[in-house]
Amino acid sequence: MRYSIDEGYLSPEVRVILAALVRLRPDRRRRKDARPRRAGRPGPGRRRRRFLYGALFAAVALYEMISKVAAGGGAAALTAFAIGVSLRHGIFVAGLAFVGGFVSPAIIGSDTPNTPVLFGYLLAISAGTLGVVRLRGWWPLGWACSRGPPSGLSSG
């Protein structure tokens, strides 16, 4: 893979698309007769969402393949998806969705900042995360969620 990138066979667009497609494939290692995972134990789903965030950020911040508005919508949709999937995969996926959701605006950025949209987005991320916290009883994540926006916005 590295050779093809160094030689220029894979353009940046192809690399981002391949990163997204590879992470969307079904997990073949999971068999029907395999033991069920313990609750809260990180599984392959966590790694997939992490790479989807990476592909989204590379597409917008590194290669400027998609607009910042579309990237913001994609980040919101990916975060909502990860928060929903955390109901099955555990607190680690919920933490990843929380961190990815709050870091997204900083990485995507904007030429013309829009404060109401930013705070509406952060409110939606906090509300979704706190809803999952209340449903599952993951109070450590709730404390992180209540400290996340103020500490992240006041540093600077």
DSSP 36-105: PPPTT---HHHHHHHHHHHHHHIIIIIS--S-HHHHHHHHHHHHHHHHHHHHHH-HHHHHHHHHHHHHHH
Instruction: Give the three-class secondary structure for 149.
Output: helix
pLDDT per position as a tens digit, 15-60: 888 877 776 665 555 555 555 555 555 555 555 666 788 888 888 8
pLDDT at residue 41, as a whole number: 52
- Determine the pLDDT at residue 48: 63
pLDDT of residue 36: 55
- Cβ-based neighbours of 89, under 8 Å, separated by 6 or more: 42, 43, 45, 46
Positive or negative torsion for Cα 10, 14, 19, 25 = negative
Give the pLDDT score at 152: 47
What confidence score (pLDDT) does residue 149 get?
56
Q: What stretches in the chain show pLDDT beneath 50?
A: 150, 152-156
Instruction: Output the pLDDT for position 49.
Output: 65
Quote the longest CA-to-CA distance of the chain. 53
Contact call for residues 40 and 90 (beta carbons, < 8 A): yes
- Long-range CB pairs of 79-82 (<8 Å, 24+ gap) are 79/104, 79/125, 79/128, 80/128, 81/49, 82/49
| Residue 64 CA from chain centroid, whole number | 18
CA 138 → CA 69, 75, 102, distances in Å?
32, 23, 18
Q: Which two tokens stand for residue 17?
A: 């698309």
Identify the pLDDT of residue 13: 84
